[in-house]
Amino acid sequence: MLEKLAKLEKEYQDIADQLNRPEISSDPQKLKELSQRQAALEDINNLGKKYHEIIQGIQEDKKIISSENDNDLIAMAEEELTGLQAQKRELEDKLQVTLLPQDPNDDKNVIMEIRAGVGGEEAALFAANLYRMYSRYAEQNRLHLELINSSRTGIGGFKEIIFAVKGENAYKQLKYESGVHRVQRVPETEKSGRIHTSAATVAVLPEAKDVDIEIDPKDLEIDTFRSSGPGGQSVNTTDSAIRITHKPSGVVVSCQDEKSQHKNRDKAMKVLRSRLLFEEQERQRKERGDARNTQVGTGDRSEKIRTYNFPQDRITDHRIKFSVKNISEVLDGNLAILIGKLTAEDQQRKLSQN
């Protein structure tokens, strides 16, 4: 732990030195990269300073206890030593978590895809509930949500909705939402009062930049078509909707929410890059032999992760066997308790593995 800490403290100081150089201040891109890295190391650097201060204090108190003859001074040193040793243990626990290998995607924006699963119209309505939940969460946590593509049903649900969430550590906050979300409730479309089980899938993809993944234009098949609303109702009079097929992988992306063909193409390419980057990262992870059971699931969209049980007013996350009451509050965007529990469990598993 001390070796890692020393290495990161040195990196922090090296960055501080570089930021004072004129050639760096005149290079906006390099300045931005170094400033972002320095900000990422800020907490570790501060914890390191505090840790070294505590170590020094412990050494001084031990010296007093072993060399002084003044009983009052020794008693004061012993009392202070007990407190410093407790602080040292607490700080070491914090440092262990802080020094865990970081997910390189954590600071990226995300592309989220919600699709109605089994359950027909009720599943589509639940997909709309989930979209609102993430929208409200974004508002409450200074994240910006940008709609990319949607396919509505006639009564206000979504067969599919794709959107970007932008802001500090967006992927870090939302990465545990990938998977199958199941709902148990009496559907709005059901008059007999029977409880139905429906589902929607959520995919959370780190947003890829042009530099993250290279796409050969020759591998793309791009089609235009006229966008339509629920039930096939035409919403645009021009062929502004875009469908992009990546021939090597078979990935197909459509976008029709913008009236501009150019904007639809840009958004579709953003989703395509993110899907391809995610698939490549999954392939590399499997090649490295990363065991899925050493971490909370963050990728497999076929995994049933959570059940929203309305009759019992209970949400259960199956990965960590944790339940919380008050569904309406969670669906209003108050996901903090679930995200916090998932993050803590993931950190604990990684610590155990290490």
d(CA 253, CA 150): 12
- pLDDT means per 10 residues, the chain with 354 residues, are 86 91 87 86 91 94 90 93 94 86 87 93 95 97 94 91 94 95 87 86 90 86 76 55 92 87 90 90 73 50 87 96 95 95 90 75
Beta bridge partners of 182: 199, 307
Neighbours of 3 (CB within 10 A): 8
d(CA 315, CA 302): 19
Domain-by-domain residue ranges, the chain? Answer: 2-98, 110-349
Q: Is the CATH code 3.30.70.1660 the one for domain 110-349?
A: yes
- Residue 242 and residue 250 in contact, taking contact as beta carbons nearer than 8 Å: no
At residue 292, the pLDDT reads 46
Total H helices, total E strands in the chain = 9, 11
- Residue 234 and residue 205 in contact, taking contact as beta carbons nearer than 8 Å: no
Name 126's Cβ contacts closer than 8 Å, sequence gap at least 6. 116, 119, 157, 181, 183, 198, 199, 200, 308
d(CA 135, CA 131): 6
At residue 232, the pLDDT reads 46
At residue 291, the pLDDT reads 47
Beta bridge partners of 306: 181, 317
| Torsion of the alpha carbons at 276, 173, 116 and 119, rounded to the nearest 10 | 140
pLDDT digits (tens, 9 = 90+) for 280-317: 888 877 776 654 444 565 555 567 999 999 999 999 99
At residue 303, the pLDDT reads 78
Q: Which residue has the tokens 């170094």?
A: 34
Which of 93, 98, 103 shows the shortest CA–CA distance to 169?
A: 103
Q: What 3-state DSSP class applies to 167? A: coil
